[in-house]
Amino acid sequence: MPLRIYDTFTRSKQEFRPIRGNHVGMYVCGITVYDLCHIGHARSAIVFDTIYRYLQAKSYDVTFVKNFTDIDDKIINRANREGLTAGQVAERYIEEYYRDMDRLGLRKPTHEPRATLHIGGIIDLVQELIRKGHAYEVSGDVYYAVRSFQGYGKLSGKDIEELEAGARVEPGEAKRDPLDFALWKKSKPGEPSWESPWGRGRPGWHIECSAMSTHFLGESFDLHGGGMDLIFPHHENEIAQSEGATGKRFVSYWLHNGFVQTNKEKMSKSLGNFFTIREILERFEPQALRLFALMHHYRNPVDFSEQSLREAEKALYRGYASLRLLRGLPATGKPLLLPERLEALSDRIDELNNGFFEAMDDDFNTAGALSCLFDLMRLINTHFKDATAGPETGVVKGIDAFVRKAADILGVFDSDPSAFLSSRREKRLAGLGLTKGAVEEMLERRALLRKERAFKDADAIRAELLRQGISIMDTPGGTVWDIADE
C-alpha cells in the first residue's frame, strides 16, 4: 500500500517517494526554549512523533531531526529579566521540555541539534548566500534579499507585491527592501555573540534550520514539518535560504499540523489562553492527551476543553480494560468458540487490521485508524468476556499482535493493562482519601451480607462506597471495584 501525504506546497495528497531508496530524512522545527511548553506544542510533538513511528513501522530507515532554537530575542529578554545568561535560560527550558515530552512518550529523534552549536555552519551558509547574490551586509547585519529569489512566496501562496505593501521595517534596520529578513544580527552590548566575517553577532531566526537540516540530512531531503503558523514566514524563508544557496529542491513534502484552540481561538503565548502540558498532566493521563490528539486529524484545528480530554481518558480506560481481558486469557484450554465463529472472527480482525493501515497510509489518518482499534476492543469484549478457558488458537495471538503493532505506532495502549489500570486506581484512591484496605474491608462485610441474602444492608454498603467515589461490580469471580467516574 502506498503512503500518501498531504503536501502544503502542492496543497494536495501526494504518493510518498523517498529521495534515497529506503532512507527517509525528516526535519521538524522544534521549540524556542524560553518558557514551558503548552498543549499546542504537545499536539505538534505527538503528531510528528506518530509520523516518525509510522514511517519506522513501514520499515523506512528514518533520520529524524528536531531542533532547539536556543538563541533568540525572547530567550535574551527572559535572561535579562531573571538575571541569567541566555545559555542558562535555554538549558533550563530544554530540561523542562524533556520532562514534559518524556511523559508523553515521545520517541527520541535521531538528532536534536541546538542552533548555538551550529554557528559555523550558519556562517558558511550566510557567506554562500552573499556569494550567490542573495544576501548583503549592512554594517554588521546581513539580510536576505528576498527579491533575488525567484518564487519567493511559493509555499505560502503569497504575492510578493502584496507582502511589500504590508511590510514593516523596525527602527534601526538598514534593509534595502522592507521584505528582506535578517540572516545575521550584529550583537548589541551584553548580548550573546559569536565572531563572524561581519563582526560579532548572532544568527537570525530562520537560518539555523536551513543550516542544521542540511548538515544532518543533506541539501535535499524528504519531509519537513511544523505548525501551520510556520508556513510563513519561517518555512518560506528556509526555502529561499536553502534553495538560494544550493540551487536544488530543498524539501519534497511539507507537513503542517493544525492548532489547538480554546473557545475557537488559537492557543498561544501572546493571547495568554494556554494550558501548559505540566498542568494538564497533573490531572489527566499522558496517554489521554496523546489519544485526544490522535482522535483528530493532524491538519484540522482542535478545540481543547476539559470535557474532550475527559472523554479521551474514558476511552483510554475502556480500551485498557479490554486489553486486560485479552492478556488475561489462558494460553491453553478448551477453545471457546465454534470453528466457524472463530473463522468469522479471524476475517473480521484481518479487515480491521487492513483498515488501520489503510487509514494511516492516507495522510496519517490516526482518527480513522483508531476507529479500527476501538472496533477491535469491542470484539475482544464480545468474544472473550466470559472466558474461563482460552483457546489455543492463532486468533488471540493475532489480535494481540495487531494491538501491539498499533500501540507501538500510536504510543497509546502500549502499557501493561493491569499495571496501567491499577496504578490509575491507586492514584485516584489517594485523591479520595481512601485506602485499599478500607475499601476491601467494606467489600468483605458486603460479601457476607450478600451470602445471607441481606441485600438491603449489602446495598447500603455499596451506596456508601459510591458516595465516597468507589463503584463496584459483582462478577462470577468475585466483586471487583474501581474509582467511579465523576
Partner RNA sequence: GGCGGCAUAGCCAAGUGGUAAGGCAGCGGUCUGCAAAACCGUUAUCUCCGGUUCAAAUCCGGAUGCCGCCUCCA
What does the chain come to in residues? 486
Q: Shortest approach of RNA to residue 238 CB, angstroms? A: 11
Q: Segment 209-238, which members bind RNA (CB under 7 A)?
A: 226-234
The span from the CA of 186 to the CA of 174, in Å, is 12
Q: Segment 94-123, which members bind RNA (CB under 7 A)?
A: none
394, 398, 400, 405: CA torsion to nearest 10: 150
Q: Is 267 in the site for RNA (CB under 7 A)?
A: yes
Nearer to RNA, 19 or 362 (CB): 362
Q: Which of 370, 395, 396, 406 binds RNA (CB under 7 A)?
A: 370
Q: Is 59 in the site for RNA (CB under 7 A)?
A: no
- In the block, residue with C-alpha cell 498542568: 279
The 19-38 site mask, x for binding RNA (CB under 7 A), equals ----------xxxx------
Q: Please state, in angstroms and as integers, the Cα–Cα distance from residue 385 to each residue in 142, 190, 348, following that order.
A: 68, 68, 18
Nearer to RNA, 197 or 328 (CB): 328
Nearer to RNA, 14 or 308 (CB): 308
Nearer to RNA, 23 or 96 (CB): 96
Reduced to 3 states (helix: H, G, I; strand: E, B; else coil), residue 246 is helix
- Give 365's Cβ-side CA count (13 Å radius): 15
Q: Segment 371-400, which members bind RNA (CB under 7 A)?
A: 371, 374-375, 377-378, 381-382, 385
Long-range Cβ pairs for the range 424-432 (8 Å, 24+)? 424/285, 424/317, 424/483, 425/482, 425/483, 428/469, 428/483, 429/483, 432/468, 432/469, 432/470, 432/483
- Phi/psi at 391 (5° precision): -80, 130
CB atoms within 10 A of CB 74: 15
Nearer to RNA, 111 or 450 (CB): 450
* Strands of 80-177, DSSP E: 135-138, 141-144
Q: Segment 272-331, which members bind RNA (CB under 7 A)?
A: 295-297, 300-303, 307-308, 311-312, 314-315, 318, 321
Q: Is the bond into 330 cis (omega within 30 degrees of 0)?
A: no
Q: Which of 59, 150, 332, 475 binds RNA (CB under 7 A)?
A: 475
Q: Shortest approach of RNA to residue 247 CB, angstroms? A: 26
Nearer to RNA, 82 or 459 (CB): 459
One-character DSSP codes across 24-62: EEEEE---BSSS--BHHHHHHHHHHHHHHHHHHHTT-EE
Residues binding RNA: number (CB under 7 A): 83
Nearer to RNA, 164 or 195 (CB): 164
- In the block, residue with C-alpha cell 489518518: 365
The span from the CA of 446 to the CA of 434, in Å, is 18
Q: Segment 141-170, which members bind RNA (CB under 7 A)?
A: 156-159, 162-163, 166-168
The span from the CA of 226 to the CA of 255, in Å, is 7
Nearer to RNA, 273 or 415 (CB): 273
The 183-212 site mask, x for binding RNA (CB under 7 A), equals ----------------------x-------
Q: Which of 55, 252, 365, 429 binds RNA (CB under 7 A)?
A: 365
Selected range binding RNA among 127-135, 187-195, 405-413, 472-480, rule: CB under 7 A? 472-480
Nearer to RNA, 11 or 189 (CB): 11
Reduced to 3 states (helix: H, G, I; strand: E, B; else coil), residue 443 is helix
Q: Which of 401, 441, 455, 464 binds RNA (CB under 7 A)?
A: 455
One-character DSSP codes across 303-333: E--HHHHHHHHHHHHHHHHHHHHHHTS-SSS
Selected range binding RNA among 84-92, 113-121, 255-263, 401-409, rule: CB under 7 A? 255-263
Q: Segment 394-433, which members bind RNA (CB under 7 A)?
A: none
